[in-house]
Amino acid sequence: MPGFELFGELERNEVNDVLDSGVLMRYGFDGMRNGHWKAKALEKELQSTLQTKHVQLVSSGTAAVTVALASAGVGAGDEVIMPTFTFVASFEAIMMLGAIPVLVDIDDTLALDPKAVEAAITAKTKAVMVVQMCGSMGRMDALQAVCSRHKLLLVEDACQAIGGTYNSKPLGSIGDLGCFSFDFVKTITCGEGGAVITNNENYHTNADHYSDHGHDHVGNDRGAETHPFLGYNFRISELHAAVGLAQVKRLPEFLAIQKRNFNIIRETLSQIPEVTFRTVPEGGEESYAFLNFFLPNLEISNKVMLAFKEAGIDGCFHYYNNNWHYIRKWEHLKDLKSLFPISKEVKEGLEYLKSKTFKQSDDYISRNISCLIKLSWTEEEVRQRAVKMGEAIVSVLKQSR
């Protein structure tokens, strides 16, 4: 990833097709578009790719999480259990509905710890949202079992994991609802965009209406459509969908490149005894978009990141000190720094963040380094990069003994 590294004629042709028709909006203007429906075509491609009955395209991955939860009735005062390690948008998308994000620890998969999930369930819990961070997955069987026992929704935020699978099922298709992002730095990019997928027809109908001001999309006259319930504007444009339509057709190509580059680096680093790798549950296969490994402690991880920088190795992230992907530095959320008044339910529901600690998550994130796997690298460049990474890690380890 990201898919923009390999933009080519297929993407240009799809975009030019939209410009030639002159219709940039995904709905209406039937006569002008001459049968060209990029969003509909992309939804159909994603149904096949993600092995799901229903796909609703939206404007972003953040929108996808909000629309998914809203379509299943999650709202004011409901609690949604989510991991400490995720992009901040997961938290924001829950708050947008007036619901309460309940953060719990991750385990060595870098996703939700099922035991921590079970311990956090209350009478207000409505959903569990597993975030398939950095191309891999949580312990899906165990999480499904927890949700089944407590009659909770299981929502997959698979925004970073398109192409990953668990027991041969695409990530995002396993829970009640799945969410994807197609922003500029994803394996499949639309520039901006996202998708909600589900096998539940009612959830899909709700997502379809809710993401377009409540329009029911019945008939061919947009102005005559009724509004069964209120909605908002989370639409994707035809231009964005056109780029995604070209990109999704190239997903097997992208995944093969990612896997090759991932395995070259992993093989080199696996020769260092102090390096261990994130756990991928049995039956799971990563998308290979990121290589995640653990070092012995925080001090060594910090020094390795400095060594990478000095060696010119970019694209590696130590999320312990990151402002956007780990709870430790989310002060704007802990302190509820908002432009508008926050509801009483949310204020009270988030009081726990002022004092709660996440020692288990701290341990994993402080030792984890996550490396982006680029599509544009040649095989020789990857091998050189792997050697440089290995040398930097070994040098730091020797100095720390």
The residues assigned a catalytic role are 186
The answer to whether 138 and 104 have CB atoms below 8 angstroms apart is no
The whole-angstrom separation of Cα 294 and Cα 370 is 9
The whole-angstrom separation of Cα 73 and Cα 80 is 12
- Amino acid making up residue 125: T
- Give the residue carrying structure tokens 């004011």: 76
Q: Choose among 159, 372, 133, 168: nearest CA to 261.
A: 372
Q: Collapsing DSSP states into helix, strand and coil, what is residue 194?
A: strand
* 215-227: burial string, b at 16+ Cβ within 10 Å, e else: beeeeeeeeebee
Q: Choose among 52, 49, 25: nearest CA to 39.
A: 25
The whole-angstrom separation of Cα 151 and Cα 145 is 10
Q: Is the peptide bond before 2 cis (omega within 30 degrees of 0)?
A: yes
Interaxial angle between packed helices 379-400 and 251-269, expressed in degrees from 0 to 180 and rounded to the nearest 10: 30
Greatest CA separation for the chain:
74
Q: Choose among 167, 182, 170, 90: nearest CA to 128.
A: 90
- Give the residue carrying structure tokens 């933009």: 7
Tokens of 38: 């990029």
The whole-angstrom separation of Cα 105 and Cα 94 is 18
The whole-angstrom separation of Cα 343 and Cα 332 is 16
